[in-house]
């Protein structure tokens, strides 16, 4: 129902001025994104050291930018309404999905909380993502909102036809999804592996305190030994778990490697990686590149692979348009004593025994095209490591968990998630939480999950629904310009 009020307002004025339609959509977007991303203010004041008015302004910039997509949606929907009559409303689902696709690709993307994520708790409907992804779910929700709006605005018996057709479609999807959940054939396929996720619960203000380095490493090493005592073969630490870069902390690195050799287990360690930049002349200062990385430590103690985070968090790991947004600099300083991160370029896979896994660091998991690329390249297990301490006890941590769960449904893979302060746990290939921790408490979760090789339809065709939506909108727009 989310889009119904906006669509009714647009449909009732067939000759609405573009500016008014734009402002209606902008208002809708501001309300939606301010309500979804309200936690940004607390994050920037608590951890970024910004004054509340400045934090509100900075968060408002992001909200205003995101609101441009609903604004353009409303302007084009109004145009189609005026050109094609009430039937023009039926372009609304394609228009909305096109806007969500834009949120993924424009300005490095920020596809946080797309409409389809609302269905993660509604598992029978969410199974549709295994066919057409989260964008397909967004299209279904936009279609339902459009059908209701059409029934409200139109006259005569035909007003109910789109609503009846949409209801029949939803019922059919729910029945199919329920049958898919009942059968769950993927739960008995593939090779089993016992995985542990560690939730160290290190407070953000302690994370970069030099006096806490020894205690933090002791905590994770102790938790790792406990997980190994529970026969874990693959142990995951959260994002940036080590206080110092893994390759530079000789003592901690040696302890981790020794544990791997003694236990014969594989470790995934979230840590920074620092890479020197070759000097162009003898007078140049020594420079470095910093990466937010994940190190795979093999049972022989060697590093089997290093994945560097490809999608950095705006205002967290880099400041976009920094010369214009100079006031956001303190947020970068709060993350740690380093230069802004450099994004990685390669979707590196992680060898775990004879199998391949993949990892997404922090909010990278909200990019469906990245996770699909991992699976296309051979990933049999999805993992994600994150530090959600920034979010406090707001809804952001729960939003993040739901978006990660969607990736498991889309790709037909188990997903393991290690988060510093939660939520950590496991999700099966149908989106069901196998285990799920509480926020802000230390936890060790060990479960038997599986490496899977079968691929879903979505993993093969990708975001076809989104690209077809873009093509349909382009064709309709061209028709209105004739």
Catalytic residue list: 239, 309, 362
Helix, strand, or coil here: 312? Answer: coil
Instruction: In whole angstroms, give the CA distance from residue 348 to residue 192.
Output: 22
Which segments within 216-338 are labelled E, that is strand? Answer: 234-236, 266-277, 287-297, 303-308
Instruction: In whole angstroms, give the CA distance from residue 138 to residue 429.
Output: 20
376 CB neighbour count, 10 Å cutoff: 14
Task: Give yes or no for a contact between 314 and 320, defined as CB atoms under 8 angstroms apart.
Answer: yes
What's the length of the chain?
482
Token pair, residue 108, equals 């490095």
Could you give the dihedral angle defined by the CA atoms of residues 98, 99, 100 and 103, in that order, rounded to the nearest 10 degrees?
120
Instruction: In whole angstroms, give the CA distance from residue 331 to residue 328.
Output: 6
Q: 257: exposed, middle or buried (C-beta count within 10 Å: 0-12, 13-18, 19+)?
A: middle
Task: Give yes or no for a contact between 178 and 430, defined as CB atoms under 8 angstroms apart.
Answer: no
89 CB neighbour count, 10 Å cutoff: 25
What distance, in Å, lies between the first and last C-alpha atoms of the chain?
33
- For tokens 């873009």, the residue is 470
Helix, strand, or coil here: 43? Answer: helix
């Amino acid at each position: 129902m989310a889009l119904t009020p906006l669509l009714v307002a647009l449909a009732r004025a067939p000759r609405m001025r573009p500016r008014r339609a734009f402002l209606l959509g902008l208002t809708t977007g501001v309300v939606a994104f301010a309500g979804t991303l309200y936690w940004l203010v607390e994050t920037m004041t608590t951890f970024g050291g910004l004054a509340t008015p400045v934090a509100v302004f900075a968060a408002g910039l992001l909200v205003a930018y995101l609101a441009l997509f609903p604004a353009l949606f409303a302007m084009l929907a109004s145009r189609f309404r005026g050109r094609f009559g009430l039937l023009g409303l039926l372009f609304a689902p394609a228009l909305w999905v096109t806007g969500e696709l834009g949120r993924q690709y424009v300005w490095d993307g920020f596809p946080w909380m797309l409409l389809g994520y609302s269905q993660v708790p509604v598992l029978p409907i969410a199974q549709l993502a295994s066919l057409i992804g989260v964008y397909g779910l967004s299209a279904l929700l936009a279609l339902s909102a459009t059908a209701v709006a059409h029934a409200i605005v139109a006259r005569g018996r035909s007003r109910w036809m789109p609503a009846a057709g949409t209801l029949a479609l939803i019922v059919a999807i729910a029945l199919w999804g329920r049958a898919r959940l009942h059968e769950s054939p993927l739960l008995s396929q593939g090779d089993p592996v016992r995985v542990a996720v560690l939730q160290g619960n290190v407070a953000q203000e302690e994370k970069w305190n030099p006096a806490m380095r020894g205690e933090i490493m002791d905590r994770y090493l102790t938790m790792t030994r406990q997980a190994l005592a529970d026969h874990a073969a693959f142990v995951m630490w959260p994002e940036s778990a080590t206080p110092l870069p893994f390759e530079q902390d000789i003592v901690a690195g040696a302890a981790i490697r020794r544990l791997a050799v003694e236990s014969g287990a594989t470790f995934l360690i979230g840590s920074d990686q620092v890479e020197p930049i070759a000097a162009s002349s003898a007078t140049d200062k020594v420079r470095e590149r910093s990466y937010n990385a994940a190190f795979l430590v093999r049972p022989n103690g060697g590093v089997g692979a290093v994945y560097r985070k490809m999608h950095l968090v705006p205002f967290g790991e880099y400041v976009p348009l920094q010369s214009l947004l100079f006031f956001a600099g303190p947020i970068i300083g709060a993350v740690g004593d380093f230069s802004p991160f450099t994004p990685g370029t390669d979707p590196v896979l992680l060898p775990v025994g004879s199998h391949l896994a993949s990892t997404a660091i922090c909010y990278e998991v909200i990019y469906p095209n990245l996770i699909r690329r991992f699976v296309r390249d051979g990933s049999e297990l999805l993992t994600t490591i994150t530090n959600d301490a920034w979010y406090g006890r707001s809804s952001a941590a729960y939003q993040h968990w739901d978006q990660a769960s969607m990736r498991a449904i889309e790709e037909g893979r188990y997903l393991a998630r290690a988060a510093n302060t939660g939520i950590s746990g496991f999700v099966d290939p149908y989106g069901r939480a196998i285990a799920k921790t509480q926020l802000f408490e230390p936890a060790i979760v060990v479960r038997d999950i599986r490496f899977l090789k079968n691929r879903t339809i979505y993993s093969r065709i990708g975001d076809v629904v989104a690209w077809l939506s873009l093509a349909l909108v382009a064709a309709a727009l061209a028709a209105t310009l004739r």
